[in-house]
Structure 1
Amino acid sequence: MDHATTISKSRTAPVAAGADAGAAASAANAVRVMVVDDSAVIRGLVKRWIQETDGLEVAGSCSNGKQAVDQVGKLKPHVVILDIEMPQMDGLEALPGILAGSPGTKVIMASTLTLRNADISLKALSLGATDYVPKPDSARGIAGSEEFRREILVKAQALGRTAQRAMGASGATGAAGEGTGRSTAASAPARSAIPLGPAPDKIEVRKASSVPPRILAIGSSTGGPQALFDVFEKIGPAIGAVPVVITQHMPPAFTKILAEKLGRLSGLPAKEGEDGERLQAGHIYVAPGDYHMRLRKDGPGVAIALDQEPPVHFCRPAVDPMFESVSKLFGPATLGVVLTGMGHDGREGGRVIADAGGTIYAQDEATSVVWGMPGACAQAGICAAVYPLDQISSAITRQFAGRR
């Protein structure tokens, strides 16, 4: 996820009668966000951040999941930021009711960085949540965390625009819990503050490599876990003769759970990569949270190199460093895949792979939660093909079988 987009910290006052029509239209097109958290301090902080950000407004706030389920059908928010641990009804219990009460609403799970919460968050994604945000384990930590603030706002903006398109014109909203945003008139969605990568009329493609792949490298972000699950449930037998490396934008703890689930789905050994570990065919290595994962030559073999160099596109791990290192070692025998995600991480590394004669596949816009990363690759003209998610696994299988 590329967080380079500027988040406005000073928001103009509500539009008065006779004010500029463009400003009024912008306010009417704001993404409506519901905040659900049992901490009044956290609710207050997140609501304030939303109110201070152009293009966002508070649809309502609730202190537990039951309140959210009761209110969501009336409010129809574009985005719900849903805490996991709450009294009366927790986030996982509330999730199905929220999705049923407001189809099209995007739910972002918020949880502290524990293995238990990571496991619950990934389960929530399989039940229909769209994304997750790791939050510091105290109100003081949240108040001082620019990273948490940025991630909440960027994801709310990007996913909110997707929800607006899915839900159609937005109607007026009422009150929920402790506070609401302004009433909004029905109108067409405004242009997103996050570049989502609209598809050009024609995407230029490169010819796929004629060299059999000796490695599979995958990059993904927002919506990526569910996309990875879909792909790896189908490709296990096809990739047993090569190593697989994955960078999914995820924090620590989450990547461990992700690797374990990919192993169960594929039937192959899967784990977080370890520094100095030799790659083995038929094994899946996931970049651990907060570490870039690169590959390096190690005698006759190839080993993993982890580092905590500065984030790339505000992300660590990032896809570009991994792709670039893979290409240096495997050249035209590289198969790279870019799945759904915000921003453009993977584009420059994908260009290195394509320029070395390797193959890049990207997920299409229609099946991506956000067509940022795969869209950037498609628009750069570095892909051999752009596929719907349900065709990516068969494309990978064909490539390893020598059929294109």
Structure 2
Amino acid sequence: MTPISFDLAEPHGPRRPVDVLIVDDSVVVRRIMAKVLAADDRFSVTGAVSSGTQAIDFVRNQPVDLVLLDMQMPGMDGLEVLPRLLASERKVQVVLLSGTCREGSEIALQALAMGASDVVAKPSAGHFSDNFVEHLLDRLGHLVPAPERNRTPERIDEESARLRPLGTMVRAVGVGGSTGGISAIMTLLSGLNPGNAFPIFITQHLPANFQPLFAEQLHRATQRPVVIAEEGLPVRAGVIHVAPGNAHLSLVREARGRVTIRLSRERCLHGSFPAVDPMFLAMARVYGPGACGVILSGMGRDGLAGAHAIIEAGGWMIAQDHASSAVWGMPGSVARAGLASAILPPGSIGELILDQWQTAA
């Protein structure tokens, strides 16, 4: 899911291929998928199994970076197997393949909310066209490579983390998340009253075709107006502005003081679209001490550079705690750097923001 490209060239030599496990009850599909991946030197097929139980055992005992998981299988289906795979200490990425679940559907978004990296519609075994193969490899090529996951911070004692003072101003709130971030965002926003007079910006690592349903679910859950960010769109207080899936959400303050959306497609450190760093950097530039950044569950370190910018501008950061995170990479990197004013579960984050906003009002 997280659109971070497999740029396999490292300054110190090429990266190793990504180890892939194929899970499908059809032997034909397993053979086709293995052949497709074997033809791409970015990937190495380390195994192919026919059931969820076999997949769980394989991941427990063998090195795996990425699991291609069939949604419909006898016994445990993909949604049942997914959380067990994600609970592995190996920090695997899971892409669900479904012959019946439409990309961008509510079931697909549910899988993403549970921590899947992507959901791709799968044709029947005899209809793996060149277009599908190209589409699949493109989607897999926008996932976090193994070396990036290996740089995820180790678990630290949150009680000993160095915390900054709480912010005293809330002019805008920016929320960034990736794997496991969707459910955290919903919980966080439920702690904010719909009438809060500050804009909210959200960058969640999601493919573009999921953004409309994500925005719809945000509206249903929060009763706030929700818009997908467009170039030149005026920023409005009380509105949730969601980064599109094919560009970064940035901001500019015009001569008369009006803040508008700017979309950027410049490659950032993590190569993702959308990335959290550009949003945080823009908030620091536009809102200064009134910028409140929130970093939620996700692999890697997207958001760390932007968090530095918010702190340097006088704003403040909140990180999701380890216990409630599906992956404590992104929030852990901010906590470890001593940039967070609080490390909390999502529900408490919303309450804290509301308290600080009401205190300053």
Q: Is the contact between residue 336 and residue 361 of structure 1 (CA under 8 Å) also seen in structure 2?
A: yes
CA distance in 2, matches of 1:276, 1:115: 35
Find the residue that maps to 2:319 and give its secondary structure. strand
1:294 corresponding residue in structure 2 = 250
Find the residue that maps to 1:118 and give its secondary structure. coil
Find the residue that maps to 1:205 and give its secondary structure. coil
- CA-CA distance at 1:258 after TM superposition: 1.0
2:327 corresponding residue in structure 1 = 370
1:131 corresponding residue in structure 2 = 116
Q: Which amino acid aligns with 2:166?
A: A
CA distance in 1, matches of 2:102, 2:133: 24
**Structure 1 residue 122 and structure 2 residue 109: aligned?**
yes
Match of 1:275 among 205, 208, 231: 231
Match of 1:36 among 10, 24, 30: 24
CA distance in 1, matches of 2:217, 2:74: 23
Q: Which amino acid aligns with 2:202?
A: I
CA distance in 2, matches of 1:311, 1:357: 23
TM-score by length of 1: 0.69
- CA-CA distance at 1:97 after TM superposition: 4.6
Deviations 1:341-389 (A, max 9, x none): 1111111111110111111001122221111111111111111111133
**Using a 3 Å threshold, how does the CA distance of structure 1 residues 99 and 375 change in structure 2: closer, same or farther?**
closer
1:387 corresponding residue in structure 2 = 344
1:350 corresponding residue in structure 2 = 307
**Using a 3 Å threshold, how does the CA distance of structure 1 residues 222 and 104 change in structure 2: closer, same or farther?**
closer
- CA-CA distance at 1:282 after TM superposition: 0.9
**Structure 1 residue 209 and structure 2 residue 167: aligned?**
yes
1:323 corresponding residue in structure 2 = 280
Q: Is the contact between residue 20 and residue 68 of structure 2 (CA under 8 Å) also seen in structure 1?
A: no
Find the residue that maps to 1:386 and give its secondary structure. strand
CA distance in 2, matches of 1:115, 1:325: 37
CA distance in 2, matches of 1:150, 1:288: 19
CA distance in 2, matches of 1:52, 1:324: 32
Deviations 1:50-92 (A, max 9, x none): 99868x842x433xxxxx35x44884645753245x6xx599x
**Using a 3 Å threshold, how does the CA distance of structure 1 residues 74 and 141 change in structure 2: closer, same or farther?**
same
CA distance in 2, matches of 1:390, 1:364: 11
**Using a 3 Å threshold, how does the CA distance of structure 1 residues 401 and 5 change in structure 2: closer, same or farther?**
farther
Find the residue that maps to 2:232 and give its secondary structure. coil
1:110 corresponding residue in structure 2 = 96
1:94 corresponding residue in structure 2 = 77
- Per mean C-alpha deviation after superposition, the further-off stretch among 325-334 and 31-40 is 31-40
Find the residue that maps to 1:235 and give its secondary structure. coil
Q: Which amino acid aligns with 2:163?
A: V
Deviations 1:212-259 (A, max 9, x none): 21111111111111211221233243x631111111111111122111
**Using a 3 Å threshold, how does the CA distance of structure 1 residues 32 and 315 change in structure 2: closer, same or farther?**
closer
- CA-CA distance at 1:269 after TM superposition: 0.7
Find the residue that maps to 1:399 and give its secondary structure. helix
CA distance in 2, matches of 1:197, 1:74: 25
1:8 corresponding residue in structure 2 = 16
Cα RMSD for the two superposed structures: 3.8
Q: Which amino acid aligns with 1:402?
A: T
Find the residue that maps to 1:207 and give its secondary structure. coil
**Count of residues paired in the alignment:** 331
CA distance in 2, matches of 1:256, 1:334: 26
CA distance in 2, matches of 1:193, 1:280: 36
Find the residue that maps to 1:362 and give its secondary structure. strand
Alignment of 1:24-103 (within 5 A): 33-36=21-24, 39-40=29-30, 42-45=32-35, 48=38, 57-58=46-47, 60-62=48-50, 68=51, 71-72=53-54, 75=57, 77=59, 80-84=67-71, 94-98=77-81
Q: Is the contact between residue 32 and residue 77 of structure 1 (CA under 8 Å) also seen in structure 2?
A: no
CA distance in 1, matches of 2:68, 2:268: 25
CA distance in 2, matches of 1:278, 1:32: 44
- CA-CA distance at 1:123 after TM superposition: 2.3
Deviations 1:123-167 (A, max 9, x none): 2345xx42132559865356557653445674xx69xxxxxxxxx
CA distance in 1, matches of 2:226, 2:101: 17
